[in-house]
Structure 1
Amino acid sequence: MRRPAEVTLAALAPVVRRLGEAEAVVAGDLVADEYVYGETERISREAPVLIVRYERSELRAGAAANAAANLAALGVRVRLVGVVGEDAVGAALLEVLEGAGVDVSGVLRLAGRPTEVKTRILAGGRSTRRQQMLRVDRAPPPLPAAAERALAREVARAGRGARAALASDYGSGTLAPPVVEALRKLRARGASVCVDSRYQLASFAGLTTAKPNEPELEAVSGVRLDGPASFDRAARALLRKLGCEEVLVTRGRLGMSLYAKGEPPVHLRAHGEREAVDVTGAGDTVGAAFTAARAAGASALDAARLANVAGALVVAKPGTATVSGAELLRELEG
């Protein structure tokens, strides 16, 4: 397994400083991540369940919305393409995104189709840390064909002048075939297009970079991962299957591996020694940091190095979180 040539983290700082001049597009499934906090009081008489006394709640950007928020936190001018409902939670999500500096002019608001919400209940005893007890998901129905075509037009519009794009697929149907075709056209015009797909990676042939984790790599390649040789076969098979230029595999505590056409693989160790607090949304941060670096003109390898650092920083934070350009610079230069 080839390790990369020694590169100091400080040598990557100029890429971060260029992020304020970069433009990128995020297209994908928009989710409102709702966190409800409370204190556990007693066992209910109605059923063997805990009674939680409500304390507070907050709404954060999830899925593709989280990826866009991460790009904005890094300083990139980001345009978001996706769908929310004409409901209160959709309006609240857009407000959160606008407050984070994301251009939401490409987000469609559809009547009769509720905004996707993931509600996490976090509770604990008095003076103890709140921990997640339960998650309730409210998924929307399929998109109408007219909305799919409208989203494709928004991708084309948002992509003018952008050097990079991120397709964030959580299985909710936003990245329908017309939208994927619009992303392919961005690649044909010279943009770097990274795809992060939880369930349908095989549907995204013809883009620049695929970013699976190990279970996703195994599922889409059809190669059982039982050692370094099989891992290599799976990554090479995915390169051929998708016709992409790179495959960036995220591997948790093992770091990440970059496979590029005609090049030996590069395996990056996980950055730092921080204990993971919460991995929620970490893949969004990695995809955003990789896309941000590509938008700033970095090579795929340098983009992967920066994404590796950003991923290590975000898992040290609770809940759906972002990493700022200033945080990344401090880590690189510290």
Structure 2
Amino acid sequence: MAAVLPARVTAPPLAQYALAFARRRVLLVGDLVADHYIYGQTDRVSREAPVLIVRHESSEVKLGGGANVAANVRSLSGQVTAVGLLGVDEMGRALRKLFAEAGIELSAVSAKGVETETKTRILAGGVNTTRQQMLRLDRGQRGPLPPKLRRALVKRVEEAAKDADAVVVSDYGAGVVGEEMREALRKLAADGLPVCVDSRYSLSAFTGVTVCKPNEPELQSLVGRALRTEEELVEAGHEVVRKLKCQALLVTRGRHGMALFDAKGGLDVIPVHGAKEAVDVTGAGDTVIAAFSLGLAAGGSFGDAARLANVAGALAVQKPGTATVARDELLGELRGAR
């Protein structure tokens, strides 16, 4: 890539920022998802239809979507308040319990008729085989939220932001982050509070925030063209910074590491951390945005925060399934990398 900024040799050790995580509070705004897993055993096909019969063995619920970002902030020792939508239902109750057990402060809006966003995965296998995912069933909000709920969510965010050192937006398209919320987030960013956005489907709508975090395919979607060369990726990154009017754009690139663009035309290329092959990339983006926001909250620059996030993400992909990274793990890796 061209125009790479020289590496800083006088920057404080990244471990200093990680040590400060416990004194920082992050506000998580987004879609709180129940990742519901049903495990079973299968050994025959039904006579009713050409489908496998699964005999139920166990089930569990995990924090998913924006809730997993909050869990990552907490695991990294940061203080976190989560604002989102939960139903008064079985999955809502399960998430509330998990938030409490994790030490996450919850400021959820609930109302009659609201269903908790849930992804139910059925995993099954034979007696001596590895379980495979057979089916995923999604439940939750359809269409935009009623105005009353949207206003209530904005009010919760404005109140919680008073005590926050950074804001993370985890938008999975389930309706929590509408235009009213985006306008509130722009105001927070304009007032100097770092607002970091990870949006799966609507990143183009998040203009005027501090940092946006697309992956490479999402960057291609934002510019509407394939990015076949490094030069094309660099051009696209600078174009999106101008389009979104953000201060920085962090592009995650899998085994190619990260590329950090800023509003002044700067580019910082960050190689992937470590030489180990990824075990599972599920949820790694949640770990990255959690560590990045904590890095900014701790006083680090965009580059410092990105390098912290790069190491945290490398640790996350070494774990199977949706996983969190503990601050001690991150510190150990940072100290070993010196």
State the TM-score bracket (shorter-chain normalisation): over 0.9
Among 188, 193, 218, the residue aligned to 2:190 = 188
Query: What is the Cα deviation at residue 263 of structure 1?
Result: 4.2
Equivalent pair of 2:5/2:266 in contact (CA under 8 Å): no
Q: 1:238-283 CA distances to partner (integer Å, 9 max, x unpaired)? A: 1011100100001111111100122431111221233323222111
Q: Distance in 2 between matches of 1:76 and 1:128?
A: 39
Q: Structure 1 residues 163 and 219 mapped into 2: Cα distance closer, same or farther (>3 Å)?
A: same
Give runs of aligned pairs for residues 110-189 of structure 1, distance below 5 A.
110-141=111-142, 142-189=144-191
Cα 1:268–1:85 shift into 2, 3 Å:
same
TM-score by length of 1: 0.95
Q: Is the 8 A contact 1:10 1:333 kept in 2?
A: no
The match for 1:101 is 103
Q: 2:56 aligns with which of 38, 45, 54?
A: 54
Q: For residues 272 and 52 of structure 1, what CA distance do their matches in structure 2 show?
A: 40
CA contact (8 A) 1:4 1:267 kept: no
**Distance in 2 between the 1:10 and 1:73 partners?**
23
% identical equivalent positions: 52
How far residue 130 of structure 1 moved from its aligned partner, in angstroms, is: 2.5
Q: Is the 8 A contact 2:219 2:251 kept in 1?
A: yes
1:73 maps to what in 2?
75
More divergent stretch after superposition (20-29 vs 41-50):
41-50
Q: Take 2:72 and 2:267, find their aligned partners in 1: how far apart are those partners? A: 27
Report 1:292-303 matches (<5 A): 292-303=294-305
CA-to-aligned-CA distance 1:24-71 (integer Å, 9 cap, x gap): 111011110011112222222233332222211110111111111111
1:31·1:61 contact (CA, 8 Å) conserved in 2? yes
Matched residue, 2:238: 236
Kindly tell me: are residues 3 and 262 of structure 1, through their superposed partners in 2, closer, same or farther at Cα, counting changes over 3 Å? Answer: closer
TM-score normalised over the length of structure 2? 0.94
Gaps of 5+ in 2: none
CA contact (8 A) 2:238 2:265 kept: no
- Residue type at the aligned position of 2:177: L
1:1-334 alignment runs, 5 A limit: 1=1, 2=4, 5=7, 11-104=13-106, 106-141=107-142, 142-334=144-336
Q: Following TM superposition, by how much is the alpha carbon of 1:7 offset from its aligned partner in structure 2, in angstroms? A: 6.2
Alpha-carbon distance, 1:3 to partner: 6.9
How big is each residue's C-alpha offset from its partner over 1:183-210, in whole Å with a ceiling of 9 and x where there is no partner? 1121122111111011111111000001
SS at match of 2:306: helix
Moved over 6 A (4+): 6-10
Q: Is the 8 A contact 1:223 1:234 kept in 2?
A: no
Contact persistence 2:87–2:116 (CA under 8 A) = yes
Structure 1 position 99, deviation (Å) = 1.0
In the alignment of these two chains, the number of paired residues is 333
Query: 2:60 & 2:5 partners in 1: Cα distance?
Result: 42
